[in-house]
Structures are given as structure tokens and as C-alpha cells.
Amino acid sequence: MGNFHNHFGGDKNQSNLIDNEKHNNLIRYASYSSVLAALIIVGLKFYGWAITNSSSFFTSLIDSLLDITTSLVNMVAIRFSLAPPDNNHRFGHEKIQDLAVFAQSSFFMGAGFFAFIQVIRDSYHGQSISNHGEGMFIMALVSIVTFALLGFQTYVLKKTQSKIISVDRFHYIFDFLTNLSVILCLYISETYVYADSILGVLISIFIVTGAFKFVKYSIKNLIDQECDDEEKAKIVAALKTFSEIKGAHGLKTRRAAEKYFIQVHLEMDSNMTLIEAHEITDKISDKIKESFKNSEIIIHQDPYGFEEDKEYIVL
């Protein structure tokens, strides 16, 4: 018999959230800002790598190319995810984001391997760094742009709690720390000649491992893998608050991007009127949506004791 336990605490305070129109506009503006900042950063890093010949600068540039691709994908995905379902896409357009994430992550896994090989080759041939001061100045400019973007993303995240923006912000936090590391590396590389190569290797490894995580995430959604047990436990916890539910079975879950699809069979008193069952079902859906705000919920009502040999959920 299925038995799920709620390992999550209560939802975060929603008092700072705003209405849907402002919510959507802020997310759009954040995605546009991310693309603009990424374009500026890539241009600066490309020039910095050209004048310094630094391996850490090169791998940092590769990582920023990942950023700009991710930002572009997020911008397109947000645009489609906000569009309503149409006659050809009854479940919505969210899986376009999963397809895009899979494609870009696969590409950047290859780019990360290439960067790793390039760093090893440069280290073997003893390639030296030049224009240390100019390189540090350019990376300082990159850090300022990144810090400004993080400030705006933090504001948007506080107002919207958007997971897409949250993931993008997390990546730029790491980039900001990487930028500071490259500045330090350029400063000490004249004394410690292998510092540049070591940092380049570390950044390339991060690119590969980070891209691999996104590949796993996108595949999970594309093949309609069930949600985690912790997420299922939140659904069961919502069902437990309704005494009208005599039994439950057939819980099915999946995700497309940030949207949840939840289906469950509920057993109720066979003498209950259709109107009463409908009203209770609406209340149950609203309760589940307290934990899964972006979700589509299908509830099938069964008369209690009518179906047998089912894998029941313990309520």
C-alpha cells in the first residue's frame, strides 16, 4: 500500500507576492536584464582573454557563453510558458523549456570538456599570461555588471519567488565568485605560475558537472518521471485535511518545466450529490494548489467501496 510522509515544513511567507500581471512583467524584465548583462560580460571577457592569454579567463568566458545561452533560453521559455494552452497544445507549452535545457546542457558538456583539454594543452606548452593589470581591470568591470544583475534578480525573486529566476540567480552568484577568483589568479600568477591552469581546470569541471545536472533534470521531465516522494507527501497531507475523503488511490504526478500535473482518484460517500462532490473537489484542488501554485489537477470521484484491488494511499 502506498504511504507517503510529509517531510516539508510550511510554505514560505507569501505576503510580499504581487498580482499576476506585475508578477509576469517582473519575470520578463529579469530575463531581458539577464540577456543584456550576459552579452556585456561575454564581450568584456572575450577582450580580456585576447589580451591576457589566460586559461582561467578562457574557461570563465566559456562559462559566460553558457550564461548567455541559458538566459536566452529562459527568456524564450518564459514567453511560451506564459502563453495559454491552444488547440494543438492542450497541456500547455512548458516542455519546450525542457527540450531547450536538454539541448543547451548537452552542448555545454562538450564545451566544458573542450575547455578542460585546452587548459591542459596550454599548461603543457607553458603558455604565459600577459597584461595582468588590464585583465584585472576588465574582470572588475565584469564583476560590477554581475553584481548589479544579482541585485535586480534578488528583488524580482523576493516579489515573485520564480524558480526560473532563482536558478539563473544561483548561476550568476557562482559567476561572481569566479570573477573574483580570476582577479586573484591574475594577481598571483606571476609568482605562482600554475595558479592560472589550476583555476581553469576547476572552472571547466564546474561547467561539465553543472551541465550534467541540467541534462538529468530535463530528461526527468521529458520522460514524465514521477515527482519526488517529498512532493507527493505534500499532496497526501492536503488530502488528509478533508474528512469527506474515505479513500484515495491512483495518484499520478509529473512535471513540465515548473508546472505540475497531478491526478488522483478519491472515494466519497455514495449518497453524496454530484453538486456536493463537485464543491468538495474544488476545495481539495485549492488546498493542493497552496503547495503547487503552478499546477493542473485532475480529481476523479469514486463511490466509496466501489473499486477493489487498488493500491490505496494511507490517509
DSSP structure class, residue 312: B
Residue intervals in the chain for CATH 1.20.1510.10: 20-222
Task: Tell me the CATH class for 229-303.
Answer: alpha beta
pLDDT, one tens digit per residue, over 117-127 is 766 766 665 55
CATH of domain 20-222: 1.20.1510.10
How do the pLDDT tens digits run along the chain, 315 residues long? 333 333 323 344 444 445 567 777 888 888 889 889 989 988 888 888 887 777 667 777 877 777 777 777 777 777 777 677 778 877 777 787 777 778 777 877 877 787 677 667 666 655 555 566 777 888 899 999 999 999 999 998 888 777 677 767 877 877 787 787 778 777 776 666 667 677 777 877 877 887 788 788 889 889 989 998 899 999 999 999 998 888 888 899 999 877 889 999 999 888 888 899 899 999 999 999 988 888 889 999 888 877 655 666 756
279: its cell numbers: 464543491
Is residue 5 a contact partner of residue 233, using CB atoms and an 8 Å limit? yes
Given a contact cutoff of 8 angstroms between Cβ atoms, the answer to whether 47 and 138 are in contact is: yes
Contact 179, 60 (CB under 8 A): yes
Our measurement of the distance from residue 177's CA atom to the centroid of its chain's CA atoms, rounded to an integer in Å, reads 20
pLDDT tens by residue, 255-267: 987 788 999 999 9
Task: Report pTM.
Answer: 0.62
Residues carrying CATH 3.30.70.1350, the chain: 229-303
